[in-house]
């Protein structure tokens, strides 16, 4: 997605270790994706695997049923909504950034540009089905490939300036932890995996599909981040397209703006559907009225704008999101659920792997939260 554009900036603050982190994050995300899907299945009396759960929420509820039948689902839903809404906020922040750099001669502040971008997103409150969202996402993917191709092509024309000396051997620990959050956030997909696996024609190929997609994602992200950082070095900016020369920057930024606006409806629709379903489930019929649904979507749309106004820093906000929700949904919860549901059936090595992933995810999340918040406080201070 668009957050790949923050990876060169992450390398600036993490040096050689950043390259290792991109590879490690791909391997760990692939592993936790597999164990999360394993939690959807249970063996019957004949030893055959049957899919007894359908969603991330179902897995969480199964783990917490002794404490409270719905506690796990509530925790997962809150975390999912946080991640989706933060993603929407990031799209607004980056839209304001792109517009301000595309039209520097126009005396308009970056926050005002974010408001202008927000106005174009108002029709999102009327989206009721995924049909419209899917069409917008297809256009979004096409624009994304064009952007990456343009940036990579320009970087390759500057290959004569590349120098490995631009990489840091010593790094600032706090900056490094913010980079960890950025890298984790670029891989998060666990929210969608249960639905994806359930809709596959041959679910038995899921593990193979996960291996190949994470392998190619790792190769492409490493290549992109490396070539961009080697081109600009210490001058690498939060959004890498800001480094492009003026004759390319305006064109690419407008493409990025188009991509950001086309990307916004998917996480927005997913978040509002979760909230609306939770509120209307088992409640009075008034909560299931079209007018109430419109109010929920309108409230969420406005809340994303307000937060974008207060936290207009792309990389720091992405690092905070990756540390809070990304680490929880990608590392902490899948390993915890797998240990809970499969403790008697998995090997000692698998238990060690799950415990290691849980511990690593918890430490990264805690440290990343502290450092990202501290960075935001320093910016505002």
Q: How confident is the model over 61-67, as a mean pLDDT? A: 85
Closest of 381, 380, 369, 377 to residue 178, by C-alpha: 369
- Rounded CA-CA distance 129/138 in Å is 15
Q: What's the pLDDT score for residue 38?
A: 93
Average pLDDT along the chain = 82
Mean pLDDT of 153-167: 84
- The pLDDT value recorded for residue 278 is 78
| Residue 276: how many other CB atoms lie within 10 Å | 18
pLDDT for position 186 = 76
Give the residue-averaged pLDDT of 209-215: 94
How much is the pLDDT for 140? 84
Per-residue model confidence (pLDDT) at position 339? 94
Total structural domains within the chain: 1
Res. 381 pLDDT band, cuts 50 70 90 = low
Structure-model confidence comparison of residues 182 and 353, the more confident one: 353
- Predicted confidence at residue 214, as pLDDT, reads 93
Confidence of residue 179 (pLDDT cuts 50, 70, 90): confident
State the average pLDDT over residues 10-30: 87
Domain that holds residue 99: 2-380
Indicate whether 314 pLDDT > 60. Answer: no
Task: Please count the other Cβ atoms lying within 10 Å of the Cβ belonging to residue 76.
Answer: 25
Report the CATH number that the domain containing residue 275 is assigned in CATH. 1.20.1740.10
Place of tokens 């949904």: 329
State yes or no: pLDDT of 132 exceeds 80: yes
Question: How many whole angstroms separate alpha carbon 73 and alpha carbon 59?
Answer: 8
34 confidence band (pLDDT: 50, 70, 90): very high
Which of 351, 57, 55, 18 lies closest to 184, judged by CA? 18
Task: Provide the pLDDT for residue 375.
Answer: 67
Q: What is the mean pLDDT of residues 125-153?
A: 83
pLDDT at 349 (0 to 100): 94
- Quick one: pLDDT at residue 205? 93
- The string of pLDDT tens digits covering residues 233-288 is 888 887 787 788 887 878 888 888 888 888 888 888 888 888 877 777 655 455 55
Tell me what percent of the residues of the chain surpass a pLDDT of 70. 88
Could you tell me which residues are beta bridge partners of residue 231?
none
pLDDT at 377 over 80: no
Q: Which pLDDT does position 206 carry in this prediction? A: 93
For residue 308, is pLDDT > 60?
yes
């Amino acid at each position: 997605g668009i957050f790949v554009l923050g990876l060169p900036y992450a390398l600036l603050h993490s040096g050689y270790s950043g390259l290792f982190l991109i590879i490690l994050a791909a391997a760990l995300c692939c592993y936790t994706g597999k164990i999360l899907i394993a939690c959807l299945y249970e063996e019957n009396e004949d030893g055959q695997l049957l899919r007894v759960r359908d969603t991330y929420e179902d897995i969480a509820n199964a783990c917490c049923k002794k404490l409270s039948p719905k506690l796990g689902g509530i925790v997962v839903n809150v975390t999912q909504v946080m991640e989706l809404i933060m993603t929407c906020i990031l799209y607004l922040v980056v839209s304001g950034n792109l517009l301000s750099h595309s039209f520097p001669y126009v005396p308009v502040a970056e926050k005002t540009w974010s408001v202008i971008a927000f106005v174009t997103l108002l029709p999102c409150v009327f989206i009721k089905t995924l049909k419209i969202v899917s069409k917008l996402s297809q256009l979004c993917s096409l624009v994304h490939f064009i952007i990456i191709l343009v940036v990579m092509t320009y970087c390759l024309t500057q290959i004569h300036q590349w120098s490995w000396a631009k990489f840091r051997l010593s790094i600032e620990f706090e900056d490094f932890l913010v980079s960890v959050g950025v890298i984790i956030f670029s891989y998060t997909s666990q929210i969608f995996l249960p639905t994806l696996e359930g809709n596959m024609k041959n679910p038995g190929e899921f593990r193979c599909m996960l291996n190949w997609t994470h392998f190619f994602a790792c190769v492409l992200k490493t290549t992109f981040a490396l070539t961009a950082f080697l081109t600009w070095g210490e001058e690498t900016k939060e959004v890498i397209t800001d480094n492009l020369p003026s004759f390319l920057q305006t064109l690419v930024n407008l493409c990025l703006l188009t991509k950001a606006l086309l990307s916004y409806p998917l996480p927005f629709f997913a978040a509002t559907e979760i909230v609306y379903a939770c509120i209307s489930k088992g409640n009075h019929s008034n909560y299931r009225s079209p007018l109430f649904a419109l109010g929920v979507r309108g409230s969420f749309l406005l809340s994303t704008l307000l937060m974008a106004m207060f936290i207009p820093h792309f990389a720091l906000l992405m690092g905070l999101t990756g540390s809070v929700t990304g680490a929880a949904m990608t590392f902490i919860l899948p390993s915890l659920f797998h240990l809970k549901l499969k403790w008697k059936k998995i090997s000692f090595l698998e238990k060690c792997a799950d415990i290691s992933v849980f511990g690593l995810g918890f430490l990264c999340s805690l440290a990343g939260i502290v450092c990202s918040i501290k960075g935001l406080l320093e910016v505002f201070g």
